[in-house]
Chain A
Amino acid sequence: MLTLYRWLLYLYPPVYWREYRDEMVSVFRDAHTDASAGTLRDRISFRVREASGLLAGAVREHVRIINGSDQLISIRRFTMRPEFRFPRSTVVLMLIIFAGVILAMEKANTVQVAYAAGADSIWPSTPWFFGLVLLLACASAVAVWGLLFALKRTGADRLADIQPGPNRAD
């Protein structure tokens, strides 16, 4: 168990494990001795706690090195310009919209091919037709909602509330 723990410590950035490895191994050894004297449940919970704590700690330290800070808030947003921040959710919404556009293009292509081949009907049945209309309506609603949500997150809706300031005499 101790050997495995030593190996897992290599998941941390080198600068971290060089500094804390000896202490962490020593504390782990003592805590492991305590847990070994307990019930099976104690031993299992100790192992789960140590494994999750170690993995979470390693991720946090790597993020800190990449991010330069412990504050994960700074990676929750994409900074485009120093004075303008883009919400991360916008990326997801834009991907959904992009997928919707690709789907629509693909469907249009299918319709065109079906007409060119002289097919009697491009809609196999009425339920299919209504289903497709419903799907397109939902996709459109999601796209519109996504755009409005993204605009709201950027604060664009507050522009209308801006009051003209007093004229500066300079």
Chain B
Amino acid sequence: MEPLPLTEPVLLVLLSLAEQPRHGYSILKDVERMSDGRVRLSTGTLYGALRRLLDAAWIERVKEDESPRDRRPYRLTSRGRRNLQLEVERMRHLTKLAALRTARKEA
């Protein structure tokens, strides 16, 4: 099971797959795009994260007979989507709290 809170690379990988199934290179580019070039995953980091997420059944391989072995797409499972929503909710709560606290300090 991937521990919560998620690390930024793992969170970005999940967000990338939340939109649509993607293969490795597509995830890599999407993560870079989402973070405005701030997060650039190496292949080692990417496949380490994918392996852990596969083990935890947060993602799965899309079974496409026509997809070549070196370009297998991944997608979120219902468990992965649920956990991603929980994490996003946790972050939303944290952001709200931070906004409240900092506003109070400035007032």
Contact = CB atoms under 8 A, between A and B. Distances in A.
Contacts of B72: 23
Contact of B42 (A26, A30, A54, A70): A54
A108 interface: no
Nearest to A30: B25
Contacts of B25: 26-27, 30-31
A53 B70 contact: no
Interface string B20-50: 0001110010000000000011111111101
Main secondary structure on B side of the interface with A: helix
B47 A20 contact: yes
A23 B24 contact: yes
Interface string A46-65: 00011011111110110000
Contacts, number: 64
Main secondary structure on A side of the interface with B: helix
Contacts of A53: 41-45
Interface residues of B, number: 21
A23 B24 CA distance: 7
Contact of B43 (A19, A54, A60, A70): A54
A57 to B, nearest CB: 3
B79 interface: no
B48 A60 contact: yes
B56 to A, nearest CB: 9
Interface of A: 16, 19-20, 22-28, 30-31, 49-50, 52-58, 60-61, 70-71
Interface of B: 3, 23-25, 28, 40-48, 50-52, 69-72
